[in-house]
Amino acid sequence: MNIVVIVPTYNERDNIAELLAQLQTVFGRLDHDMQVLVVDDNSPDGTQQVVRAQQTAMPNLHMICGDKAGLGAAYIRGMRHALDVLRADVVFEMDADFSHKPDDIPRLLHAIEDGADFVIGSRYVSGGSIPREWGVLRRLNSLFGNIVARFLAGIYSVRDCTAGFRAIRSGLLAQIDLSALRVQGYAFQIALLYEAVLRGARIVEVPVEFVERTRGDSKLGVSDIVEFLQSALWLRFRSSATFIKFALVGASGVVVNLGAFALLLGLGVNKFIASPIAIELSIIWNFLFNNYWTFRWRKSRDRTRIKGLKFNAVSFASLAVSYVTFVALSLAFPDVAPHWHQLAGIVPAALINYFLNSYWTFRHDPQA
């Protein structure tokens, strides 16, 4: 495979030469085409000169330069270059300050070889760690960042959402519109991870020890924290918007169901025949609105007809759940009015309905 390790730099003169040397040593132990891409934002400290001086001895060392626009902007430029020009199969994200150990690269790569699409050098899985010397504030900041990412942005399944040490398959990256991420700074990390989760990427966390830098300074600033919070809120909104649309469609379906039922009764149809017809009409109604509105952007290999059948199956499953809840509550609380049992059944049914349809019927298939 062709592997490109992207290293963004801003004033890393005192780290970059040693890092590049260590990378070459590690690369020597690997059976892949290994390249490095430094993305420097015209560092005033002369980082570029140091890199250029090494390029003659290292033909696999590339560099692109630009004005300072933030860590995320640098990664976006770097990833495009790695995909389009260097033809990478796998792209690494890595800091220049030795917080990420070059010796850990083979372990991350192993996870890719084992089939992962997105590998995270994780500080928050068992075996991973943050520096012992980190003060309370720094610890809280990192912890808080991950809590925001997991529970506000909704990336629950990942422990270390803000990590900047990653290996990503280019096939996955190519599906993501990087310019649509709308992030400049460190928020890039959660924005990209969110897109990967959304596309059903196989995400693996490999434990790493995060080492505090000994030379130079961290560039994380207040504006990065503000952008990070904004970004997490925006991601939350995006996830909720889908659920809200789904709920609205469901509510309109109730109206269709009852309206059709009343209409059929008015036409003299027997109520035992009118009922299932009205139910099926509302299911079809819900399906069409979810297909052409709620989940419109999700691509699928299935024909609309197949999705309709799946939607119907899910509707019957949620009917069963709703009925089982009704029966269970009726038996458990016989003194409570049955309307409450019936109402309570809607909650688990709606959730199951949403999750099955979101992850099965309207599952996004980027290759479709």
Helix (H, G, I), strand (E, B) or coil at 297: coil
- Smallest distance from the beta carbon of 164 to ligand GDD, in angstroms? 2
Q: Which two tokens stand for residue 137?
A: 């504030």
* Residue 296 backbone dihedrals phi, psi, to 5 degrees: -55, -40
By CB under 6 A, name the one of 219, 310, 341, 363 that touches ligand GDD.
219
Give the type of residue at 354: Y
- Residue 10 site contact among ligand GDD, Mn ion, none (CB < 5 to 8 Å, cut-off depends on kind): ligand GDD
DSSP secondary structure, 327-344, as one string? HHHHHH-TTS-HHHHHHH
Nearest to 196 by CA among 224, 166, 220, 226: 166
- Among the residue ranges 95-103, 288-296, 319-327, 334-342, the one whose residues contact ligand GDD (CB under 6 A): 95-103
Neighbouring residues of 132: CB distance < 8 A, sequence distance ≥ 6: none
Residue 128's binding partner among Mn ion, ligand GDD, none (Cβ under 5 to 8 angstroms by kind) is none
In whole angstroms, what is the distance from residue 187 CA to residue 240 CA? 20
Minimum CB–partner distance for residue 30 and Mn ion (Å): 24
CB 118 within 8 A of CB 198: no
8 A C-beta contact, residue 111 and residue 206: yes
| CB of 150 or CB of 298, closer to ligand GDD | 150
State the nearest-atom distance from the C-beta of 222 to ligand GDD, in Å. Answer: 13
How many CB atoms sit inside 10 A of residue 174's CB? 13
Does 191 interact with ligand GDD (rule: CB under 6 A)? no
Q: Which of 35, 99, 122, 358 binds ligand GDD (CB under 6 A)?
A: 99
What are the angstrom distances between the C-alpha of 90 and each of 100, 106, 345? 18, 13, 47
Query: CB under 5 to 8 A by kind: which of Mn ion, ligand GDD, none does 195 bind?
Result: none
Tell me whether residue 162 or residue 361 sits nearer to ligand GDD (CB atom).
162
Tokens of 361: 């019927």
Residue 97 binds to Mn ion (criterion: CB under 5 A): yes
Q: Would you say 15 or 322 has its CB closer to Mn ion? A: 15
Hey, CA dihedral for 111, 112, 117, 123, is it positive or negative? positive
Question: Which residues lie below 8 Å from residue 316, measured CB to CB, with a gap of 6+?
Answer: none
Residue 298 Cα distances to 240, 241, 289, 352, angstroms: 16, 14, 13, 19
Could you say whether residue 194 binds ligand GDD (CB under 6 A)?
no
Tell which phi-psi region holds residue 209, choosing left (phi > 0), alpha (psi between -120 and 50) or beta: beta
Establish if 11 lies at the interface with Mn ion (CB under 5 A).
no
Residue 19's binding partner among Mn ion, ligand GDD, none (Cβ under 5 to 8 angstroms by kind) is none
Q: Is 12 in the site for ligand GDD (CB under 6 A)?
A: yes
Taking CB atoms, the residue at the shortest distance from ligand GDD is 164
Handedness of CA 145, 148, 151, 152 (dihedral sign): negative
Binding-site string for ligand GDD from residue 156 to residue 175, where x marks contact by CB under 6 A and - marks none: ------x-x-----------
227: contact with ligand GDD by CB under 6 A: no
Give the per-residue contact string, 62-81, with ligand GDD (x = CB under 6 A; - = no).
Answer: ------x-xx--x-------
Q: Does 99 bind Mn ion (CB under 5 A)?
A: yes
Query: Which range binds ligand GDD by CB under 6 A, 36-44, 237-245, 286-294, 307-315?
Result: 36-44
- Contact residues toward Mn ion (CB under 5 A) are 97, 99, 213, 218
- Contact residues toward ligand GDD (CB under 6 A) are 8-10, 12, 39-41, 68, 70-71, 74, 95-97, 99, 142, 162, 164, 186, 189, 213, 218-220
